[in-house]
Amino acid sequence: MRIAFISLLFAVCATWPAVAGPCTGAEAQLAQVSKALTVNALDIAENALRTLSLSYPDCPEIVLHQARLAQAKGNLSKAAELYYHYTDTDPNDSRGLAYFGRFFLEQRDYMRADALSAAAVDKNPDDPAALALRGQILLMKRQSSEGQSLLEKAIKLDPDDPETQFQLGTIYDKAKAAAQAVEHFRAAATLNPHDARAWDYLGLNLELAGDLDGAEKAYEKGLQVNQAGRYHDAFLDYNYGRFLAKRNDLSGSKRHLDRAVESAPQVRAVWYERAKLDMRMQNYQQARADAEEAAACTQSGGVIDLQIYSLLSQVYSRLGNAALAKKYTDLTRATPPPVRGEQP
Amino acid sequence: MTPRKLFTIALVVALAAPPKILSGADAGRIQFENRQKNSGVSFVLDNGSLPDKPMIDGIPGGIALLDYDNDGYLDIFFTNGASLPGLAKEGDKFSNRLYHNNHDGTFTDVTDRAGLSGEGYSVGAAAADYDNDGRTDLYVTGFDHNVLYHNNGNGTFTDVTAKAGVTGVSSAGKKLWGISAAWLDYDNDGKLDLFVVNYLDWSFATSRVCGPAGKRLSCSPTLYKGEPNILYHNNGDGTFTDVSEIMGISRHIGKGMGVAIADYNDDGWMDIFVANDNDRNFLFKNRGGKAFDEVGVESFIAYTDNGLPVSSMGVDFRDWNNDGKPSLIVTALGGETYPLFRNEGNGFFSYESYKAGIGFRSLKMSGWGAGIQDFDNDGYKDLFTANSHVSENADLDGQQHYRQANAVFRNMHDGTFQDVSGDAGPGMQIRAAHRGCAFGDLNNDGKMDVVVSAIGSPAELLYNTSTGGNHWILIKTVGVKSNRNGIGTRIKVTTASGLVQYNHVTTAGSYASSNDPRVHFGLGADTVIKEIELKWPSGTVQVLHNVKADQVLPVTEE
């Protein structure tokens, strides 16, 4: 329904002639293009931009949205070129700075993302795109309360921005506030059903909230849309596999954890989780292989040495390898558990 | 279709259906009724809370169910806190309490006459007849005082702590923070020994504060060092010897809260499980009464399947799936699940919280007391947990609740449990800061009742009013060569319909509490027990045949 409405608007509005400035008369269409890009409706945005660029060849804002489109489609060099072009043309437009900043953020160029997000908010402290980006950057800089307040301001100004909803969701997820997290992830996933990350987090938090059927559906929807690109989630299979194991669907869990180790083989957590499942399925040789893979990984994914030692101790005990079982039992004993809870 | 065909189909269906061992098994519902209001039990647990929420104020609340006057009915003893930071039992509100059971659903406060009001900040209680004189004695643990009360047999008790040498002071001279205690005869010499579980190396001088001012939370125990546990050997002359070091106990530093005993490897020697808070749990494997090996890691009960500790608090150690192997339930904080460790019988335990169906349900619960008991008398033991978050300000984060309802999980006979708390009556819907709970049959009707303490609220007397009319037996062991209570006796019951169940004599378990020493079995529809086999700690094996159901059966060791 939303897509049909947007298409209709473009069809009607694209025929309006330009009157004054280079973008005059295109405002509504541009707003709709921006919205389409925000919710990842790329075909609609692309068609509309093509029409608009014919009708308003000198409108610079079209360049901004073309940059966003190129970014969304993974054409990064073209996107960068267009962003540079737009910010040179209109260096005072907070949106240009914000979207360019988000581009850098996605390229993990955090310094430039930081600088551009700060500049964007300076230019317009009421621009939701600028606020959302700055909020996210501040969260990454561990300025949590400032980041959260900017994101909350952004969501009030533009509640239909799925990325802002997603970022707010992550705040509540970290705080283990499942009910609030669900609210934001559900909004993010509804606004942008292509965002596999949002579905994954929605599943995780529904699980914590006790809505197991809802979690199952969320994971499954996420898997349906989990394709390479900016919304890809490398840990969706991992999380769904863990969930299925808790629901005692071991073969289903295995299927997804197999995919998880394929998609993130460098991460200890995925091997660790599959090794645990192997143990449950009494496939101790495979458990040993997976646990040793986990031990060799450099990226922990949140799994600490103590967990690995404990698992290997069990694996080798089950296999009857007394020497290695003792080695890892001793390591388990010698490794203190993590300090938990709130620090004074 | 002809009648003959119909009959044939019915016969085939009947033969194909799985055998129903207990016809009454599905008939009843687990129900509890809180009868505190008219009982005369007015006890309110007072933790002496301070605004900074020091570690000490989250953890009191042990209960003992004991028949101190040998009238055949369980009486109730509650431990209580003290004023903080002074640690004094100033006035009645901090007094420990003993309530005498009047056999009519009412109780009389006999604390003063009994001399059990206590001193200091009390936490746990363990009841048993340590001197084999036929009267139940009482050990009370606490932060600053552990006290052994000898039962004089006339309604009074005498503090014999110093003479007995069970002060809870370590060999280094430090009074350790006692939480739970367990009576067991670890060397099978016929005299009950005492295991004392200690918590943290904490004091007001080293106390830290957590959470913002005005919204303080109990700090994580990981911010403090743990303490060793103590094992006292009973010398048989009213004194005990601290054997913690030579028996291999004190070298293991934990953050102990709950304790339970069972012979998990069926070698005739009682083993000890200690639930450690945010540290690895201990399983002390008894090496023939000569020493203990701590095998928690090797047995896979040190951590959950995630390889990390949880906030282990309460524990029970009994056979819930009728395979003859005692297994474990441990309570923990919200977000952690209640670990359920099934004893595989090969030295290993498997973490089965999710497999057994309590994983997701317990994620939102925080628990203290815990019990594995057959509440509907269907022949399969169910689970009970006394719930509450540790932090009074837990609700501030929106996800945790300080005051929680208790939970009961019904055994579905297939290795899984179902949370039936919501249907278990209004008594199970009371949201309170529950802590300890003790299990026993208060009115000798064959149904296991639960007494639960709660900080700032009246204790709950949850009488079991489960429906279904299933049968039962309570076995009261009287040791002769073995210790008088028969603690450690392993009992196997085979009913006429063929169901085989196992349990053992112990008062230890739950959180800081002491249970009915009588061993309860639900019998379903069976009115006769084909065979009862008792393996006494002395090594004596005694077998009874064709025992009538629905009775409290005294069994004296032959």
Measured between beta carbons, which residues in chain A are less than 8 angstroms from residue B207?
A: none
Q: What is the pLDDT of residue B213?
A: 87
A332 Cα to chain B: minimum distance (Å): 7
A177 touches chain B (CB under 8 A): yes
String of DSSP letters for A2-19: HHHHHHHHHHHHTTSPP-
Going by C-alpha positions, the residue among B408, B520, B532 that lies closest to residue B470 is B520
Q: What is the pLDDT of residue A19?
A: 46
Q: What is the pLDDT of residue B2?
A: 42
Q: Between A210, A247, A340, which is nearest B220 by CB?
A: A340
pLDDT, mean over chain B: 94
- Reported as a single tens digit per residue, the pLDDT across B70-94 is 999 999 999 999 999 999 999 899 9
CB contact under 8 A, A337 and B364: no
**Phi, psi at residue B253, to the nearest 5°?**
-95, 120
Measured between beta carbons, which residues in chain B are less than 8 angstroms from residue A314?
A: 300, 348
CB contact under 8 A, B348 and A317: yes
- Reported as a single tens digit per residue, the pLDDT across B332-363 is 999 899 999 999 999 999 999 999 999 999 99
pLDDT band at B27, cuts 50/70/90? Answer: low
Pairing assessment for the beta strands B471-478 and B551-556 based on DSSP bridges? parallel
For the cut 60, the answer to whether the pLDDT of residue B8 exceeds it is no
The 3-class secondary structure across B333-386, one letter per residue, is CCCCCCCEEEECCCCCEEECCCCCCCHHHHCCCCEEEEEEECCCCCCCCEEEEE
Exposure string over B231-249, b if 16+ CB within 10 A, otherwise e? bbbbeeeeebebbbeebbb
For the cut 80, the answer to whether the pLDDT of residue B26 exceeds it is no
Pairing assessment for the beta strands B256-262 and B271-276 based on DSSP bridges? antiparallel
Please give the residue of chain B at the shortest CA–CA distance from A326: B298
- Reported as a single tens digit per residue, the pLDDT across B50-62 is 888 999 999 999 9
Q: Between A178, A318, A339, which is nearest B399 by CB?
A: A178
Q: Where does residue B456 fall: left (phi above 0), alpha (psi -120 to 50 degrees), or beta otherwise?
A: left
Tokens of B266: 């069926």
Which residues lie across from B196 on neighbouring strands? B181, B230
Q: Please tell me the distance from the alpha carbon of residue A30 to that of residue A12, in angstroms, as a whole number.
A: 13
Going by C-alpha positions, the residue among B106, B119, B326, B130 that lies closest to residue B236 is B130
Q: Where does residue B289 fall: left (phi above 0), alpha (psi -120 to 50 degrees), or beta otherwise?
A: left
Q: What is the pLDDT of residue A8?
A: 46
B462 Cα to chain A: minimum distance (Å): 27
Going by C-alpha positions, the residue among A146, A164, A163 that lies closest to residue A155 is A164
A282 Cα to chain B: minimum distance (Å): 11
Measured between beta carbons, which residues in chain B are less than 8 angstroms from residue A340?
A: 220, 222, 278
Q: What is the pLDDT of residue B111?
A: 98
CB contact under 8 A, B307 and A308: yes
Contact assessment for residue B81 and residue B93, using Cβ atoms and an 8 Å cutoff:
no
Look at the block and give the residue holding tokens 């009191």: B60
Measured between beta carbons, which residues in chain B are less than 8 angstroms from residue A304?
A: 308
Please give the residue of chain A at the shortest CA–CA distance from B208: A344
Tokens of B489: 């006796």
Q: What angle separates helix A60-72 from helix A94-106, to the nearest 10 degrees? A: 20
Contact assessment for residue B279 and residue B226, using Cβ atoms and an 8 Å cutoff:
yes
Q: What is the pLDDT of residue A229?
A: 83
Measured between beta carbons, which residues in chain B are less than 8 angstroms from residue A174?
A: none
Please give the residue of chain A at the shortest CA–CA distance from B295: A329
A343 touches chain B (CB under 8 A): yes
Please give the residue of chain A at the shortest CA–CA distance from B209: A344
For the cut 80, the answer to whether the pLDDT of residue B18 exceeds it is no
Q: What is the pLDDT of residue A176?
A: 85
Under DSSP, the state recorded for B491 is: E
Query: Is the previous residue joined to B85 through a cis bond, with omega within 30 degrees of 0?
Result: yes
B221 Cα to chain A: minimum distance (Å): 8
Q: What is the pLDDT of residue B418?
A: 97
Burial class from Cβ neighbours inside 10 Å (0-12, 13-18, 19+) for residue B6 reads exposed
Tokens of B310: 């949880």
Please give the residue of chain A at the shortest CA–CA distance from B335: A208
pLDDT band at B7, cuts 50/70/90? Answer: very low
pLDDT band at B212, cuts 50/70/90? Answer: confident
Q: How far is CA B405 from the centre of its chain?
A: 18
Q: Which residues of chain A have pLDDT under 70?
A: 1-19, 341-344
A107 Cα to chain B: minimum distance (Å): 34
Q: How far is CA B302 from the centre of its chain?
A: 19
Contact assessment for residue A33 and residue A6, using Cβ atoms and an 8 Å cutoff:
no
Burial class from Cβ neighbours inside 10 Å (0-12, 13-18, 19+) for residue B215 reads middle
Q: Please tell me the distance from the alpha carbon of residue A209 to that of residue A205, in angstroms, as a whole number.
A: 6
Q: What is the pLDDT of residue B556?
A: 98
Q: How many interface pairs between A and B have CB atoms less than 8 angstroms apart? A: 90
The pTM assigned to this predicted structure is: 0.90
Measured between beta carbons, which residues in chain A are less than 8 angstroms from residue B206?
A: none
A213 touches chain B (CB under 8 A): no
Contact assessment for residue B241 and residue B187, using Cβ atoms and an 8 Å cutoff:
no
Contact assessment for residue B368 and residue B313, using Cβ atoms and an 8 Å cutoff:
yes
Which 3 state secondary structure label does DSSP give A312? helix
A209 Cα to chain B: minimum distance (Å): 8
- Reported as a single tens digit per residue, the pLDDT across B526-543 is 999 999 999 999 999 999
Pick among A244, A282, A342 to test the B interface (most B CBs inside 10 A): A342
Residues in CB range of A48: below 8 A, 6 or more apart? A6, A10, A14, A29, A32, A33, A36
Burial class from Cβ neighbours inside 10 Å (0-12, 13-18, 19+) for residue B172 reads exposed
Q: Between A207, A329, A344, which is nearest B210 by CB?
A: A344
Pick among B253, B305, B349, B412 to test the A interface (most A CBs inside 10 A): B305
Evaluated on CA atoms B203, B222, A207, B416, the torsion sign reads: negative
CB contact under 8 A, B222 and A337: yes
Q: How far is CA B183 from the centre of its chain?
A: 12
Prediction ipTM score: 0.90
Polymer length in residues for chain A: 344
Tell me which residues of chain B have a C-beta less than 8 Å from any C-beta of chain A: 208-211, 217, 219-223, 278-280, 297-298, 300, 302-303, 305-309, 335, 348, 354-355, 359-360, 363-364, 397-399
Within 10 angstroms of residue B344's Cβ, the number of other Cβ atoms is: 14
Q: What is the pLDDT of residue A341?
A: 60
CB contact under 8 A, B208 and A344: yes
Please give the residue of chain A at the shortest CA–CA distance from B282: A333
A329 touches chain B (CB under 8 A): yes
Q: How far is CA B71 from the centre of its chain?
A: 23
Residues 241-280 of A with CB under 8 A from B: 245-248, 276, 279
Q: Between A306, A318, A329, which is nearest B307 by CB?
A: A306
